[in-house]
A and B are shown apart, each in its own frame.
Chain A
Amino acid sequence: MNKRLMIISIEFKLLLRNYMNMFFALFFPVMMLLLFGEMYGNEPSEFFNGRGGMDVMVPSYICMIVAVTGIMSLPLTVAQYRERKILKRFKATPIKQSDILLAQIISNLLLTLVGIGLLLTIGKIRFNLHFYGNPILAIIVLLFIILSVFAIGLLVSGVASNGKSATAISYIIYFPMLFLSGATMPIEMFPASLKKISNVLPLTHAVKLFKGIWFGESLFDFTKEIVILLIVIIVCMTLAIKMFKWE
């Protein structure tokens, strides 16, 4: 087997054996879907501006999955590999440390896609989910969002000195984003003060952008969101590349 493929397949298997990742990337979003789906149903309702409740929530749950893999799973694993000198052990072989990092990124990407697939399948079967946008555009936008969230995760993995500090940093970034970005609760429900905080979080803009594309709105209505996410990508990637510590 190709050297890189082998590393990716093994790293992916390891990721699947980590119950925390499995729970938050696969089961938690489905749980949210079933819980709120049973409460609100997916009939067009005034509360969701005439849209189906789950049609509105699923795109944000998708962003939530991206946040789990990108901001929690990826940095925690990489920081742990460095702290426990796993990366160092690989340095002394023809395997490059960057191959391990790449395998981690791709494994988390795969887990994201599996999580999204599962969510969409169950959403379709249980609540007859509707998608109004252009599928190709939606995939491109989704990849763009993944890139921006993973860039944040890479920066965290690059600078956290050990597993514990990576956990701390990830939680500080992840939990506010989880609850305040509209990924779990519709942002429309927030009071003005919370909306202000929410607007600072990159994931808020990702959720807004992806929801818009889901409902077939024009990409040009979201230039602000796209620019913000682009800045996140550029800044985080540059810093991550500059500051990444292998040991």
Chain B
Amino acid sequence: MNVIEISNLSKSYKKLKAVNNISLSIKQGEIFGMLGPNGAGKTTTIECVTGLKDYDSGSVHIHGIDVKKELQKVYEIIGLQLQETIYQDKIKVSEICQLFHNAYKNPIPYIDLIQRFGLEFKLNSYVQKLSGGQRQKLSIILALIGNPKLVFLDELTTGLDPEARRDMWAIIKGLRDEGRTVFMTTHYMEEAEYLCDRICLINNGELIACDNVQSIISQSGIESEITFISKNNDLKQSIVESGISSNVIYNALNNTYTIYSAEDKCIARTALLLESMGIDYSKLSIKRSTLDDAFIKLTGGNCKNE
């Protein structure tokens, strides 16, 4: 079942097409990641989908509800974490929680969430005084207070230290395990690889690909890199003839062979070939392409990747 249906969504700011004809469906219970460099249109997409920004054309349905028509109904069932949210000056953690808790019909007691995320010793602190990680935890608590079926997270881990990021990852997986659907944006590839069931790549407001991580990598057609060391400098011909790959390079300085191949079983075939020929070799290894490589290939390599 699809919980979000986005069709032909477009949004322009003056001349800039921030979101250009994007269509997506997000399934019940998945972690869906939207990836792209800064300025690709991720935040604008989230803001259009959640009704915070008016879009120019297309349609968005959340649990079958038209976002443009019945926004208040949508806000009862979604939870939202916005990028770098600032709260009122001098508001305390307990007060902002009360404020949100009171807003929903069937809220989760906020004290439960505070305990779950380990912020109980901060209840009486001013929100401004929290550390980056604590503040992000608070923003997740506020997103969850309404017991939403669907949680939107906009660059939740940007600016966090590695430990706080790992914490966030565990939290996000926990949300899925509770049966919630998560729609997140990030510009960290390894985060998407680790967390997301499916991802989409966007650049300059356009959808480039949408699938699970492995399929996107193989779609991109990037070759794996197999290397091994051998003193035998005459293997190139045999490798090419065996059909593993025609792209073989031998570096005589360090006796290293490098084979580029898009074929899945290329390393096994290389090993079999070397064994059957009785060649003396060492350090046979493979470097498979990552989402990073795929992303750069698919976006034409013209984007900065942080």
Contact = CB atoms under 8 A, between A and B. Distances in A.
B88 A93 contact: no
B99 A7 contact: yes
A224 interface: no
B75 A89 contact: no
Contact of B89 (A3, A7, A10, A14): A14
Interface in A44-97: 80-81, 84-86, 88-89, 91-95
Contacts of A84: 86
A94 B72 contact: yes
Contacts of B76: 94
Contact of B87 (A89, A92, A94): A89
Interface string B130-158: 00000000000000001000000000000
Interface stretch (B100-108, B177-185, B248-256, B295-303): B100-108
Interface string B60-77: 000000000000100110
A214 to B, nearest CB: 36
Contacts of A88: 52, 82
Nearest to B50: A92
B95 interface: yes
Contacts of B80: 92-93
Contacts of A10: 91, 95, 98-99
Q: Is the interface of B mostly helix, strand, loop or mixed?
A: loop
Contacts of A11: 88
Interface in B103-123: 103-105
Residue of B88, B89, B105 most packed against chain A (CB within 10 A): B88
A94 B103 contact: yes
Contacts of A31: none
A126 interface: no
Contacts of A17: 89-90
A20 to B, nearest CB: 11
B85 interface: yes
Contact of A94 (B51, B75, B85): B75
Nearest to B91: A14
Contacts of A92: 50-52, 75, 78, 80, 82
A6 interface: yes
B48 to A, nearest CB: 12
B90 A14 contact: yes
Contacts of B105: 94
B90 A91 contact: no
Contacts of B75: 92-94
Chain B's interface size range is 20 to 34
A91 to B, nearest CB: 6
B52 A91 contact: yes
A11 B87 CA distance: 12
A11 B99 CA distance: 10
B103 A95 contact: yes
A18 B52 contact: no
Contacts of A94: 72, 75-76, 103-105, 146
Contacts of A91: 52
A18 B90 contact: yes
Contacts of A125: none
Interface string A1-25: 1010011001101100110000000
B86 A93 contact: no
Contacts of A7: 99, 102
A80 B85 CA distance: 13
B82 A85 contact: yes
Contacts of A93: 75, 80, 100, 103-104, 146
Residue of A86, A88, A92 most packed against chain B (CB within 10 A): A92
Given A14-B91, A94-B76, A94-B104, A89 B85 contact: yes
A94 B78 CA distance: 10
Contacts of B89: 14, 17-18, 80
8 tightest A-B CB contacts, nearest first? A17-B90, A95-B103, A84-B86, A6-B102, A92-B80, A94-B103, A93-B103, A10-B95
